[in-house]
Structure 1
Amino acid sequence: MHLLKINWDPVKSIDLGFFELHFYSVMWIVAFVLGFQVTKRIWKNEGESNDSLDSLFIYSVLGIMLGARLGHVIFYQSELISEDFFSIFLPFSFKDGIRFTGFQGLASHGAAIGMIISMYLYNKKVLKKSVIWILDRVVIPVALGAVFVRVGNFINSEIIGKYTGSDFGVVFRQLSETEPRHPAQLYEASCYVFVFIILLYFYWKTKKSEQQGFLFGLFLLLLWTVRFFVEYVKEPQNIERADWLLNTGQLLSIPFILIGLYFMFFYKPKTELS
């Protein structure tokens, strides 16, 4: 028995009779519920209304989920557009009959883009303050939510790591494997905990929340730097690009890192002319 070798073969869902509850879906629900509680504290601290908070939650859920789904399809599984179009938006596969699948295939890069767009619309329709002001605050609960999403990936035995070539690692029994792999999902989840703590610290304990764009930039820098380096121990999601120097996840992370640096050190908010 090797203490550093874990055989992973969990139950992925609970059959409730009328509905099959997937733990991956539960992790998304936990992410949104806890994120809402964190945002509630922030909104109270900023003196914003509960009505604007409720609207923010709706815009966030729709923006992140739709962006994550479309991001996965565009970046990783574009064949769905022609082969099974309606499965992009519905939790069913219509290829070779109708089959319930749940919402599978969600990309973090797409979620980030969806979040930014939804916050732009939210600000335009509801808060009418500043998109960057909103983003500086919502990235804190988003970082926390990312932790639970990656735990959900681990439960599903997806987005797996490469073989460790040693006795260390996780054997994903659901994939009918016998050799240990890097638990890349847990590497990411653990790092995202620290991203959340760092953002929380800068918001509550420093004056950086008053520097528009800094927290948003810090989030982009930290989160996608983590993603960039963890990709080295992940199996590539695009098989045809497996021999590239950098995989798709890394190539998509670089622009976010650069944008993060821009907002941290170079961004100057527009001031109203007197």
Structure 2
Amino acid sequence: MSYYLHDLTPYLFRYSDGVRDVLVVRWYGLAYLAGFVIALLLLKRLVARGYCALAPGDVLDFTTYGALLGVMLGGRLGYMVLYNWESFSRDLSLLFQIGRGGASSHGGILGLALFTWLYARKKGVSWLNLGDNVATAVPLGIFLGRIANFMDGELFGRVSTVRWAVLFPSEIHLPSFQPAQATRLAVERLPASSFDIMQVAHAVPQVMEELQRILNPRHPSQLYEAFLEGLLLFGILYFVRTRARRTPDGLLSGLFLVLYAVLRIGVEFFREPDVGDPLHLGLSRGQLFSLPMIAVGMVLLGWSLGRHRGVAGVAQTPGPSLSTNE
């Protein structure tokens, strides 16, 4: 069976003077920017329709600083602490070397939750109400980020023979790499990234032929995560946010934490473990870090439903009834 050889560029635009890159626009950076714009527009819509307690004039301010201090700083700090602590403990400046890559979705979620709590206190609005609306927007950012991962050819899945499996060139640099067929190609001399490897392959036809022979087909797990943790999760949360007759504060935040964690744990079984990631009871660190999210989400769900179940006069999130049309 012939499998697709990953040959996508991580750049929307790249200008080089022949020695080094002068101007680069990466899909990954655009994913952050697009996620910010979409979150801004969605929160504006939710505020306008009375779902979110945030004042209309505060939406841009909240979204901007939430993206910078919550998602980006939290994601970077989470990666350094959770996945690269040994290096980070020796050189704290690594936190600001974003160009070297590395961000944790768990850290980004925690950072955004903390920022939301601080901002809600500053503005005197319900943290859970604000958090519920933020949680509705977050999966769209996750979707874009995972698509960018696929464009980069990184964080790919385990070896598989499913018809939609993909050949990822950067697989050759995994410590566990075993060529699908015997080869004399000096893979250790090839560049690190999928894009740079394919640049060599396009220039040297023999390298292209060898790559197609020796690479192992793998699950495109980035796409699984994009559609499950991204689009599917957004669809569920947005439906509950806009269609449920009454949504008590905290319900959507709890639902997000539980569903994201369950979906993340499930998809990680199809994903190649990170280099140096020790497995505990057969679970990766990404799966282990998702377990507390389920516990916190269940507590939020129980508290939210228990506090508001059938109690007359309890303030609930404003919003139109189930029969309201979009």
Same-fold status (TM-score > 0.5): yes
Distance 1:139 1:118 in 2: 13
Which of 227, 232, 249 is the equivalent residue of 1:194? 232
Q: Does structure 1 residue 49 correspond to structure 2 residue 55?
A: yes
**Cα distance, 1:143–1:48 mapped onto 2, change above 3 Å:** same
Query: Helix, strand or coil: the match of 2:30?
Result: helix
| Alignment correspondent of 2:35 | 31
| Alignment correspondent of 1:144 | 140
| Alignment correspondent of 2:14 | 15
Q: Does structure 1 residue 161 correspond to structure 2 residue 165?
A: no
Distance 1:135 1:214 in 2: 10
Distance 1:115 1:194 in 2: 21
Q: Does structure 1 residue 107 correspond to structure 2 residue 111?
A: no
Q: Does structure 1 residue 79 correspond to structure 2 residue 110?
A: no
Distance 1:132 1:269 in 2: 13
Distance 1:188 1:8 in 2: 18
Displacement of 1:118: 0.3
Displacement of 1:50: 3.0
Q: For residues 51-66 of structure 1, what are the structure 2 equivalents within 5 Å?
A: 51-61=57-67, 62-66=69-73
Larger gyration radius, structure 1 or structure 2: 2
| Alignment correspondent of 1:131 | 127
The answer as to whether partners of 1:59 and 1:122 remain within 8 angstroms in 2 is: no
The answer as to whether partners of 2:54 and 2:130 remain within 8 angstroms in 1 is: no
The answer as to whether partners of 2:5 and 2:168 remain within 8 angstroms in 1 is: yes
TM-score (norm 1): 0.86
Displacement of 1:265: 2.3
**Cα distance, 1:258–1:238 mapped onto 2, change above 3 Å:** farther
Moved more, 262-271 or 191-200: 262-271
Give CA deviations for 1:119-172 in whole Å, capped at 9, x if unaligned. 0111122x2111111101111111111100111111112222111156641111
Counterpart amino acid of 2:120? Answer: N
Distance 1:146 1:55 in 2: 21
**Cα distance, 1:53–1:243 mapped onto 2, change above 3 Å:** closer
The answer as to whether partners of 2:36 and 2:64 remain within 8 angstroms in 1 is: no
| Alignment correspondent of 2:324 | none
The answer as to whether partners of 1:68 and 1:107 remain within 8 angstroms in 2 is: yes
The ranges of structure 1 where at least 4 consecutive aligned residues each deviate by more than 6 angstroms after the TM superposition are: 269-272
Q: For residues 226-237 of structure 1, what are the structure 2 equivalents within 5 Å?
A: 226-237=263-274
Give CA deviations for 1:188-222 in whole Å, capped at 9, x if unaligned. 1011201101111001111343x111011111111
TM-score (norm 2): 0.73
Distance 1:84 1:235 in 2: 28
The answer as to whether partners of 2:78 and 2:107 remain within 8 angstroms in 1 is: yes
Moved more, 213-222 or 162-171: 162-171
Moved more, 64-73 or 233-242: 233-242
Query: Helix, strand or coil: the match of 2:241?
Result: helix
The answer as to whether partners of 1:7 and 1:170 remain within 8 angstroms in 2 is: yes
State, as a whole percentage, how many aligned pairs show the same letter.
Answer: 29
Counterpart amino acid of 1:249? Answer: G
What residue ranges of structure 1 are gaps of 5+ in the alignment?
A: 92-101
The answer as to whether partners of 1:31 and 1:148 remain within 8 angstroms in 2 is: yes
What residue ranges of structure 2 are gaps of 5+ in the alignment?
A: 17-21, 173-210, 309-313, 316-326
Distance 2:162 2:130 in 1: 46
Distance 1:103 1:216 in 2: 32
Distance 1:264 1:82 in 2: 37
Q: For residues 214-253 of structure 1, what are the structure 2 equivalents within 5 Å?
A: 214-237=251-274, 239-242=276-279, 244-253=281-290
**Cα distance, 1:34–1:142 mapped onto 2, change above 3 Å:** same
Distance 1:245 1:74 in 2: 22
Distance 2:270 2:114 in 1: 31
